[in-house]
């Protein structure tokens, strides 16, 4: 029994030991439309202040690497327009890893424990002037991989998006900035990344269009270079088929994968689904706009 417990604990810690960083789940995009474009998001329109509605609420579900580490991610987000140039919101993401049995020193069952992680954030999107937009998110993080010594900490995302035209955007962002998390047996750095990206759409003729997005950046804690690129065909600005790729120079940071997905959007709601080749990852998300 004790051997089994030790094996489970070692498996849970392997992500920390191999990746040399804490809470890698915070790097995963929970919007299926972004995931289908290889995860490219730095200049995504969803980071801008709300313009056409007063309130938006979304939910996302991702089964990350079902043939590997097996993250079970759930995301809930709500944003409200305060004034035309300012949007604030709240976001919560949980990562459940499955229940495990606990045993005493003499091998007797003493209950169960479910490892898990969470990230709760306050979102701000602001358009101070003209084509310049600023977005930020303050995050509270909790990671509990064993029955004792949960790690807690804070992180922040901050970025700037510039509207090159009505259809194209350029952005820069620093994500998951914060101090290392201490699990009681050692401190592990957050997966801080620095990125730049482009995003936009081209109308071919009539109801047909092409979507494009690309990001590139670095994760200093691992020395990894990251790049995402995606494209898609869009019909009538409602239905799109999307494809992409994510490249990472060090698999210990993030996986390299291909992606594909479908996305539907309307004035009232959006819904999307994506598949990633990274050990079979599946994602679905939906958003209500009022």
Whether this model's pTM surpasses 0.85: yes
Distance (Å, whole) CA 121 – CA 138: 5
Distance (Å, whole) CA 164 – CA 135: 17
Confidence of residue 7 (pLDDT cuts 50, 70, 90): very low
What are 200-245's pLDDT values in tens digits? 999 988 899 999 999 999 999 899 999 999 999 999 999 999 999 9
Confidence of residue 106 (pLDDT cuts 50, 70, 90): confident
The answer to whether the CB of 177 falls within 8 A of the CB of 157 is yes
Whole-number Cα distances in Å, 166 to 40, 98, 130, 169, 200: 19, 45, 12, 8, 9
Comparison of pLDDT for 279 and 136, the residue scoring more: 136
Q: Which of the 8 DSSP states describes residue 50?
A: P
CATH, residue 165:
2.40.160.60
**How many C-beta atoms surround the C-beta of residue 52 within 10 A?**
8
186-201: b or e for each residue (b if 16 or more CB lie within 10 Å)? eebbbbbbebebbbbb
Distance (Å, whole) CA 253 – CA 219: 8
Q: In whole numbers, what is the pLDDT of the chain averaged over residues?
A: 89
Segments forming the whole domain that contains residue 283:
2-289
pLDDT in the model for residue 290: 94
Confidence of residue 5 (pLDDT cuts 50, 70, 90): very low
Structure token pair of residue 182? 């201490």
Distance (Å, whole) CA 154 – CA 138: 7
Of 46, 44, 48, 40, nearest to 215 by C-alpha is 40
Number of domains in the chain: 1
The radius of gyration of the chain from alpha carbons, rounded to an integer in Å, stands at: 20
What are 127-185's pLDDT values in tens digits? 999 999 999 999 999 998 777 778 999 999 999 999 999 999 999 999 999 999 988 87
The answer to whether the CB of 215 falls within 8 A of the CB of 62 is no
Phi and psi, residue 207, nearest 5°: -95, 5
Sign, CA dihedral 171-212-253-59, equals positive
**How many C-beta atoms surround the C-beta of residue 14 within 10 A?**
11
| Cα angle 13, 14, 16; round to 5 | 70
């Amino acid at each position: 029994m004790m051997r089994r417990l030790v094996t489970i604990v070692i498996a849970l810690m392997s992500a920390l030991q191999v990746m040399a960083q804490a809470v890698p789940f915070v790097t995963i995009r929970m919007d299926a439309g972004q995931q289908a474009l290889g995860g490219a998001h730095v200049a995504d329109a969803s980071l801008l202040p709300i313009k056409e509605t007063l309130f938006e609420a979304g939910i996302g579900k991702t089964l990350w690497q079902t043939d590997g580490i097996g993250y079970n991610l759930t995301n809930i987000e709500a944003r409200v327009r305060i004034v035309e140039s300012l949007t604030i919101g709240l976001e919560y993401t949980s990562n459940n890893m499955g229940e495990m049995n606990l045993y005493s020193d003499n091998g007797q069952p003493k209950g169960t424990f479910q490892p898990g992680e969470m990230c709760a954030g306050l979102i701000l999107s602001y358009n101070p002037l003209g084509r310049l937009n600023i977005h930020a998110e303050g995050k509270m993080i909790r990671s509990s991989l064993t029955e004792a010594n949960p790690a807690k900490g804070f992180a922040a995302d901050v970025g700037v998006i510039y509207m090159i035209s009505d259809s194209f955007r350029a952005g820069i962002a620093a994500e998951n900035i914060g101090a290392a998390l201490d699990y009681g047996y050692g401190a592990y750095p957050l997966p801080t990344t620095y990125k730049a990206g482009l995003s936009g759409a081209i109308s071919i003729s009539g109801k047909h269009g092409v979507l494009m997005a690309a990001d590139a950046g670095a994760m200093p804690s691992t020395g990894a270079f990251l790049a995402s690129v995606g494209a898609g065909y869009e019909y009538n600005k409602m239905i799109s088929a999307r494809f992409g790729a994510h490249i990472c120079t060090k698999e210990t940071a993030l996986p390299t994968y291909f992606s594909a997905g479908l996305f539907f959007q309307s004035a009232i709601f959006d819904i999307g689904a994506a598949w990633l080749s990274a050990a079979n990852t599946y994602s679905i998300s939906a958003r209500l706009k009022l």
